[in-house]
Amino acid sequence: MRNIFAVPIRDQILIYAPLHNLAALVSPTLALRLRDLLASGEPAGDGPLGELVDLLRDEVTEPAPLQGEFVPSALGLLPTRGCNLACRYCGFIASEETQFVMSLEMARDAVNWYMDQVQRSGAPHAEIHFFGGEPFCVEAVIDLAVHLAQRRAAEIGCTLRFEVATNGTFSEARCYWTADNLDTVVLSFDGPADVQNLHRPYKDGSGSFDAIARNARILSEGANSVYFRACITEATVGRMPEIATWFCQEFRPDAVSFEPLQPTPWSDNAGLVPPDPWAFAHNFIAAAQILEAHGVRPVYAPAEIGARQVTFCPVGKDFVIVAPDGVLTACYLLRGEWEARGLDLRLGRMNTDQNGAVQIDPEAVESIRGFNVHNKLFCAGCFARWHCAGGCHVNHILGSQPGDYDRLCIQARIIALYNILHAMHHDELAHTWLQDHAALARSVWQASDRLADRDGTL
């Protein structure tokens, strides 16, 4: 019964069992009866309650951490940690790591090693992601990696997908190339000119809006998938519906992801503050309705109820990221960030003096596979544990006591609950629940959502 959850939604109880692919709204009395029947194992009889009990008695398999032989699930390349922008919230600006640029030989060796692994494992598919800094600051690495991987994939006979996370300020010619050659473009785009230019100026202080807007239009016309990723602050949280409307009117993204500002000393200096989580959740949901009405997928990644995962990000998924200095890591954040948290997310390194030999450290692989929600006791009783999986292993510091939810937990729980009600077509209930702050607070502030932990006052 550990994966059956019960969350109050006004005067009803949402029974949510993600591993059973089941959600139901029942009365509190029925929820307690359900709990007792599941605990006792006694027959539930015929009728809707009996059917529900039968479904929830089915054995389910929890998502498990990876085990056994290391086979890279994807390759990430970091051509540089440097960037042409000086975003006011970005911690990369002052990092010493920005001085390194990946050599073409290292990119070649990394791609060849990865494609060799794909061939050896017989995997039908290969996947290469480019992160930064701004990866297009070193275009030659991207060109080399794309052409080489395409040639190797054709030899091996596997499919191949490319994804890039970019600030989108590249030239028009490079934009057309990107639209033609990369499958998914994740564009950091915070909104209309006043927001974009305030948050994401060039290093000389001038605005980046004109370049990104031109390129977003070009990419909108391409065959590839385009995701906008907008950073939301306290000042812009109330504008999320407006930003969503504007994105839909001006461009044709496939998805829009809204992410709350992750505070840094630089964002503090710039006077940028994370949004209030309740306001973020409310405005995300309002924005999501606008996006969906335009056929655009709204994304708040920790609340994606389609996900069943033990880790939220590449960490723990045997995803290999090659840093410009040849260190292989599991995380695309700056090394200094995770080292400051006492974490070691290195998987190995490339030895450029030994013909690019790649050394994966088996102990590091095992250690990093341990970064998963099974080892996050704080999340054990949360209905969203298999969706959010505790979030970022580096920046999401989990509470010490059950129910000690921080702003990230609060907004993830509200949005995930909304997503569940929306998927059940209970939009009217979702709307009244969102307007009822006391009811919303009751839903959020449960120390444990497990049905088995619910007492008689449910």
Partner 1 sequence: MSTAARVRCAPGIVWVKDTGRALLVDGETGRLWALQDADALTWELLSMGYKYTDLVRMLALLLTLSEDETSAVLDDTLARWQAAGIVLAAGDSAHG
Distances (CA, A) of 453 to 5, 15, 410, 446: 9, 13, 20, 10
Q: Measured from the CB of residue 157, what is the shortest distance to partner 1 in angstroms?
A: 14
The residue (of 153 and 430) whose beta carbon lies closer to partner 1 is 153
CA distance 404 to 263: 20
The residue (of 9 and 149) whose beta carbon lies closer to partner 1 is 149
| Residue ranges that bind partner 1, judged by CB under 8 A | 104-105, 108, 139-140, 143-144, 147-148, 150-151, 154, 173-174, 177, 180-181
Q: Tell me the two tokens of residue 98.
A: 């920005």
Query: What distance lies between CA 273 and its chain's CA centroid?
Result: 21
Q: Measured from the CB of residue 147, what is the shortest distance to partner 1 in angstroms?
A: 5
Q: Measured from the CB of residue 448, what is the shortest distance to partner 1 in angstroms?
A: 55
Q: Measured from the CB of residue 126, what is the shortest distance to partner 1 in angstroms?
A: 16
Radius of gyration in angstroms for the set of CA atoms belonging to the chain, rounded to a whole number: 23
The residue (of 125 and 147) whose beta carbon lies closer to partner 1 is 147
CB-neighbour burial class of residue 145 (10 A; exposed 0-12, middle 13-18, buried 19+): buried
Q: Measured from the CB of residue 140, what is the shortest distance to partner 1 in angstroms?
A: 6
The residue (of 139 and 361) whose beta carbon lies closer to partner 1 is 139
Q: Measured from the CB of residue 271, what is the shortest distance to partner 1 in angstroms?
A: 40
Q: Measured from the CB of residue 104, what is the shortest distance to partner 1 in angstroms?
A: 6
The residue (of 159 and 432) whose beta carbon lies closer to partner 1 is 159
The residue (of 181 and 309) whose beta carbon lies closer to partner 1 is 181
Strands 297-299 and 319-322: unpaired
DSSP string for residues in 250-261: H---SEEEEEE-
Question: CB–CB of 167/84 below 8 Å?
Answer: yes
The residue (of 177 and 202) whose beta carbon lies closer to partner 1 is 177
Q: Tell me the two tokens of residue 44.
A: 């539930």
Distances (CA, A) of 344 to 259, 329, 365, 394, 451: 25, 9, 11, 10, 36
CA distance 244 to 249: 9
CA distance 227 to 243: 14
Place of tokens 């997503």: 419
